[in-house]
Amino acid sequence: MLLGSMSSSADIRIEPDTPEFLEATTAEELLPLYRTMLAIRRMEEASAKAYSVGKIGGFLHLAIGQEAVCTGAVAALRPEDYITATYREHGHIYARGVTSRAILAEMWGKKTGVVKGLGGSMHMFSKEHNFLGGHGIVGGHVPIGVGAAFKAKYRGEKRVSAIFFGDGSTTIGGFAEGLALAALWKLPVVFICENNQYSMGTPLHRTTAARDITQRALAHDMDRDRFDGDDVIKVKRRIVSAVERARETSRPTLVEVRTYRFRGHSMSDPGLYRTREEVEEWKKGDPLVRAKRRLLEELKVGEDTLSTVAADVKEEIADAVRFADTSPESDSYLPYVLKD
């Protein structure tokens, strides 16, 4: 078969609702997750606006459309668990508990940023939250997350290491070797592939022959799971089962969550490699829309409650932008080259 004849339509199809999708939840569970997703989106929209007027420099990679993955997955973890992520990590670190103030101030390059303006959008870390970055070398961070799991096992701690990466990471050695070592040494890792269908501008069917990424787990006799990332409760439930496997039996799992970024790879990418129809199709699975619908229709949460949440988030992000705007410039790097 000619490569060109391989349609990508199968990859972008959103699965029909499944029993998992309808898995029971409560307003008490879903409402905070919805608020987190909404805050992530508003925060990223604010950062896009700031980028366009030069308040943010360098690269800015947004994950608008993917919020249910980081929000649901982080909710499946305990505070003592480790998280390692990519340069598209704003949502992950926010869901973990770092404030929108510290995140936006970091992107603004300010002293009050989560890493004092030394890391920027791509390199956010928070030791307090066991958040190990924020990494810009695609796939290079995967063995690092495996190393955190190695330490947990070395010390006999029941801690899990969650490693987030994109579909673009799955073709590089760091991913392959990290996966192999975690399986060989039976380490408590949950590998979470956020398959947003494109490694930068190249669709999955042009980067890998096996489009089911979890097939890589078969080579290592590793457990795997694969599902759509449009519903935050589903993400949480499915990741919980992998997390508990890791915690209780010290066995890793490779999870592929299919999702989609509504914007380009970075701010400089207009996304000309995909059709408007494709983007619109995926937007039908907008995780924020789905969560809102569940809250209103299934869980009978009032419109007024959601309005309050929206207003609260709006004020939080406006405050974070003011904070970033008015914070002092970053001023020091020398203390952080070598540790005493």
Partner 1 sequence: MPIISYREALNAALREEMQRDDSVFLMGEEVGHYQGAYKVSQGLREEFSSRRVVDTPIAELGFAGVGVGAAMVGLRPIIEFMSFNFSLIAIDQIVNHAAKMYQMSAGQFHIPMVFRGPSGPAVQVGAQHSQSFESYFCYVPGLKVVCPSTPADAKGLLKSAIRDNNPVVFLESELLYNTTGEVPDGEHLVDFGKADVRREGKGVTLIAWSKMVDVVLDAAESLEELGIDAEVVDPRSLRPLDTDSLVASVKKTGRCVIVEVGWPMCGLGSEIAFQLQRECLDFLDAPVERVCSDDVPMPYANNLEQEVMPQVKDIVAAVKTVLYLD
Residues that bind partner 1 (CB under 8 A): 82, 84, 115-116, 118-119, 123, 125-127, 130, 132-137, 140-151, 154, 161, 173-174, 176-178, 180-181, 184, 333, 335-340
Shortest Å distance, C-beta 146 to partner 1 = 5
For residue 152, how far is the Cα from the chain centroid? 23
Shortest Å distance, C-beta 185 to partner 1 = 8
For 164, the 3-state DSSP assignment is strand
Nearer to partner 1, 72 or 147 (CB): 147
Return phi, psi of residue 42, to 5°. Answer: -65, -35
> For residue 51, how many other CB atoms are within 10 A of its CB?
20
Shortest Å distance, C-beta 288 to partner 1 = 31
Nearer to partner 1, 1 or 337 (CB): 337
Q: Which residues of 307-329 are buried (b: 16+ CB within 10 A; e: fewer)?
A: eebeeebeebbeebbebbeebee
Shortest Å distance, C-beta 4 to partner 1 = 33
Q: Which residues of 123-136 are buried (b: 16+ CB within 10 A; e: fewer)?
A: bbbbeebbbbbbbb
Nearer to partner 1, 115 or 299 (CB): 115
Nearer to partner 1, 68 or 149 (CB): 149
Shortest Å distance, C-beta 114 to partner 1 = 8
Asked if 220 and 175 count as a contact pair (C-beta separation under 8 A), the reply is no
Nearer to partner 1, 71 or 330 (CB): 330
Q: Does an H or E element contain 181, and which?
A: helix 173-184
Nearer to partner 1, 56 or 98 (CB): 98
For residue 269, how far is the Cα from the chain centroid? 19
For 269, the 3-state DSSP assignment is coil
Shortest Å distance, C-beta 268 to partner 1 = 22
Q: Calculate the alpha carbon distances from 155 to 127, 131, 161, 186, 318 in Å.
A: 18, 19, 14, 14, 43
Residue 32 and residue 223: Cα distance in Å, rounded?
Answer: 30
Asked if 194 and 259 count as a contact pair (C-beta separation under 8 A), the reply is yes
Nearer to partner 1, 130 or 197 (CB): 130
- C-alpha dihedral, 76 to 106 to 42 to 122, nearest 10°: -60
Shortest Å distance, C-beta 150 to partner 1 = 5
Shortest Å distance, C-beta 116 to partner 1 = 4
Nearer to partner 1, 272 or 337 (CB): 337
Task: Give the residues across from 159 on adjacent strands.
Answer: none
Shortest Å distance, C-beta 109 to partner 1 = 12
Return phi, psi of residue 76, to 5°. Answer: -85, -10
Nearer to partner 1, 151 or 283 (CB): 151
Residue 275 and residue 279: Cα distance in Å, rounded?
Answer: 7
For 157, the 3-state DSSP assignment is coil
